[in-house]
A and B are shown apart, each in its own frame.
Chain A
Amino acid sequence: MSETVLNLVEDAEVVLNTVKASRISTYFEEYPSCKGIVVQDESERPVGLVMRNHFYQKIGTQFGYSLYMNRPIELLMKTEIIKVDKDCDLATFGLKAMNRHENDVYDLVIVMDAEICVGVISISNFLAVMSEIKQREIELLNNQQRILKEANEQEKKYRLEIEQKNQSIKSLLNNADQGFLSFTEPLLISEEVSSVCESIFGKPISGLHFGDLMRSFLRHDTYEMLLDSLESLFQQTKKSRAKAYLKLLPETFKTDKRDIQIDYKLIAFNEDKKLMVILTDITDKIALEQKQQDEKNNMKLVLAALNNKTEILEAVEDARLFFKAKYKEILKESSSVLEGLSEVFRRVHTMKGDFALYAFHNTAVGLHVIEDQLAAYLNAVEPIDPTERIAGLELETYLDTLNFENIISKDIEIIENFLGKGYCESEKKMTVNLEQVELFIKAIEARFEKDDRTYLVGKIRDLTNPTLNEILLSYSDYVKILALKLNKSISEFQVTGSTVPINRKYYAGFLKSLIHIFRNIVDHGIESPEERVEGGKPEGGAIRCDLRVDHHAIRMMISDDGKGIDPEQIRLKAIEKNLYTPASAALFSDKEMIQTVFNADFSTQSKVSMLSGRGVGLYAVKTEVETLGGKVEVDSVRGEGTQFRMVLPLERI
């Protein structure tokens, strides 16, 4: 309230102290609104105040009237006047004015500018202004309160909205089949817990420690692992490692009646890590899955048996040997029981991994039990323990009791059910009845989902329909042996380009005819090692096959780095064999000329070689290719090599 009194100042009625009271009386009668008059001395300084009420009180009696009326007003005036400076603030003014004697409280207050009276302030006026100011303050306060109230209401509204949103999320979560809960570093479960959680645990769980909650459902070591992993997880800065810790958390647990699957999701990785836990009731699913899994395992096993027979038979043989006698050898040759035990343990462990890799599920499980037992022995043996020898004997006794045939028999039985008896006895090559394969494919199609099905069936089809690449590669041994017989050498045989699955039946004639190209290359194309070295080439020749496939055609190229075809020699031979007259032969370009090698009656070899026959070879290729509606041509650069190029229409499998 720093307002000054200036606004309250009214003009003052002023008289000299010598003026007679009768004049004042007349003035008050003439101006009824005048409440008081300031009295000044000769030097114009205020010396007193005549208030209307006080004046009339004094002259109201007979005595007073006769005493004062004809005398100077100074005898009648109030001399205890209050003067304030014009810059006086309202508060100071109020204090001064109100501290007067109660009879004087309504007297005018004189306002001074230095020594001069500039006006008066009436108390009633002051009170009116004050109440106005008060009123303004109250209004302001009321306004503030209104705003506050509105803000409160707004806040309530927002709170309600948020509540409703939470509620709708909650009801969404509550109506899902899964339970959701989450927690941060101290593992205390936050308030937002879906109702499914409570029905799983049979009690409210928000606020509980996640570890404590899970403790009764987990094996002790799993429980410890949970705590350790979570602790490391919340300290982790690398996302990959954090995810690795996640994988160590338990994936399922069992309550009294239910199987529960647990999924974990790390929300907000960087600042405040929060882990969301999703619980799914999988009781029914598990029972069904177990049945399906058994069947799937069986299918995988049979497929592996088909695909990796050589490796599997070796692994089985090694395992049999190990359990028959090898472990005794290992234990005997080791310098200590501990060393022997470690080695046996390691062998069993590796064996387990290998069998698991070949889908020998039951065998792997059996070996796992043995491994656990060995681990227990391993933990029990102290290196300098005097009872070490006894432990060693115990171990040997334990191993003696094991019968590997029992461990592997179930898986072998499954294989033999599908592929016929005697899988293990047969040679490394295996004959499988195609009808059995078809039955196997049907079994797979009935049990596997889309991707797995396509993959597995494809793999089996590959067994019966090898790729063109594999067929070409199978010529590798043939050309190398052929070269040896001719005192030549092939050091490189490559198949590059696309993988081309092929319908073997459809292309059978053509595939057989390819042998003529390879014969020709080794017999006529590749030079003797001496010739090659002289020509600056490596001793061994190189044969390269390249495959390209598009929607309509297979493009195949078979090339060598031999001496190439001499068009002049071809021309001469062709004339000699009466294929062309010299005149017509002269019309051919070199490239056209060398296509004569595909002619039925042509062979550049003057002697009939035992290996390349009579030159019908390349003619056979041309016939087969053209039967399929394709084309073949040869290209050659003297001294550098020859290329056979074939285009075949694509016949889908």
Chain B
Amino acid sequence: MARILIVDDSAISRIKLKDIFELDCHEIVGMAEDGLEGVEKFKALKPDLVTLDVTMPKMKGLDCLKEIMTLDQNANVVMISALGKGDTILEALNAGALNYITKPFEEKQVLKTIREALEEL
């Protein structure tokens, strides 16, 4: 069981991810609607894992990732992205993200990615 922070500007995505994670017995310690809030909640909650949407208002996912990696270089961040965002994903992985999930979510794919990421914690 991991403590997870969900950062995503789409309410539907947040709810969907929360449902999937909770069914897999993880604890959702917090949710944020934009990058700035994401960084603040990361500081405050120190989650085991962050799911981070790439496209968000106020602070983009990639900038948010960089802030988080500066705060904790061992942070475990899984990017959430629409299909066809390879460049951004590659940049995110090189910047320290552990893995990524593409929208729309397939429950099995989400769980597989998260479990793989958690195995290395």
A355 CB to nearest B CB, Å: 9
Assuming the A-B contacts A244-B93, A244-B99, A346-B56, are A221 and B87 also in contact, with contact meaning beta carbons closer than 8 angstroms in the complex?
Answer: yes
* Least Cβ–Cβ distance between B82 and chain A, in angstroms: 6
Do B93 and A350 have beta carbons less than 8 Å apart?
no
Q: A294-338 CB contact bits vs B (8 Å, 1 = yes)?
A: 000000000000000001000000000000000000000000000
Q: How many A-B residue pairs have CB under 8 A?
A: 72
Q: Does B103 contact A (CB under 8 A)?
A: yes
- Give min CB distance, A244 to chain B, whole Å: 4
Contact A244 B120 (CB under 8 A): no
User: From DSSP, what is the main secondary structure of chain A's interface residues?
Assistant: helix
Q: B55, A349: Cβ atoms under 8 Å?
A: yes
B49-107 contacts to A, CB under 8 A, are 55-57, 82, 84, 86-87, 89-90, 93-94, 97-100, 103-105
Q: Are B10 and A350 in contact (CB-based, < 8 A)?
A: yes
Contacts of A245 in B (CB 8 A): 90, 93
Q: Which of A237-251 contact B (CB under 8 A)?
A: 238-241, 243-245, 247-248
Contact of B9 among A239, A247, A248, A346 (CB under 8 A): A346
Q: Which of A103-111, A224-232, A548-556 contacts B (4 or more CB under 8 A)?
A: A224-232
Contacts of A247 in B (CB 8 A): 100
CB contact under 8 A between A357 and B16, given known A247-B100, A346-B56? yes
B110 proximal to A (CB < 8 A):
no
In the assembled complex, B28 has its CB within 8 A of some CB on chain A: no
Contacts known (A221-B87, A225-B90); A357 close to B82, Cβ less than 8 A? no
Chain B residue at minimal CB-CB distance from A371: B82
Contact check, A232 vs B94: say whether CB atoms are below 8 A apart.
yes
Contacts of A232 in B (CB 8 A): 90, 93-94
- The complex places the Cα of A221 from the Cα of B89 at a distance, in Å, of 14
Q: How far is the CA of A356 from the CA of B119 in the complex (A)?
A: 30
B98 and A241 within 8 A (CB): yes
Given contacts A241-B93, A353-B103, contact A248 B12 (CB under 8 A): no
Chain B residue, CB-CB nearest to A350: B10
Indicate whether A516 reaches chain B with its CB closer than 8 angstroms: no
Give the interface size bracket for B toward A.
20 to 34
Chain A 431-458 interface 0/1 with B at a Cβ cutoff of 8 Å (1 = within): 0000000000000000000000000000
Residues of B within 8 A of A228 (CB): 90
* CB 8 Å contact bits of A202-242 with B (1 = contact, 0 = none): 00000000000000000001100100110010000011110
A256 to B86, CA, bound (A): 25
- Give, as a whole number of angstroms, the nearest-CB distance from A484 to chain B: 30
Contact partners of A571 in chain B: CB under 8 A? none
B111 at the interface (CB under 8 A from A): no
CA gap between A311 and B56 in the complex, in Å:
21
| Chain A residues in 8 Å Cβ range of B89 | 244, 248
Candidate in A229, A346, A353, A354 with the most chain B CB atoms within 10 angstroms = A353
CB-CB under 8 A for A240 and B55, given A350-B9, A353-B103? no
B117 contacts the other chain (Cβ, under 8 Å)?
Answer: yes
**CB within 8 Å of B: which residues of A?**
221-222, 225, 228-229, 232, 238-241, 243-245, 247-248, 311, 343, 346, 349-350, 352-354, 356-357, 364, 368
User: Which 9 residue pairs across A and B have the least CB separation, nearest first?
Assistant: A356-B104, A244-B99, A240-B116, A353-B103, A357-B104, A349-B55, A225-B86, A350-B10, A240-B117
Query: Besides A222-B86, A232-B94, A354-B13, 4 other CB < 8 A contacts?
Result: A225-B87, A244-B97, A245-B90, A364-B104
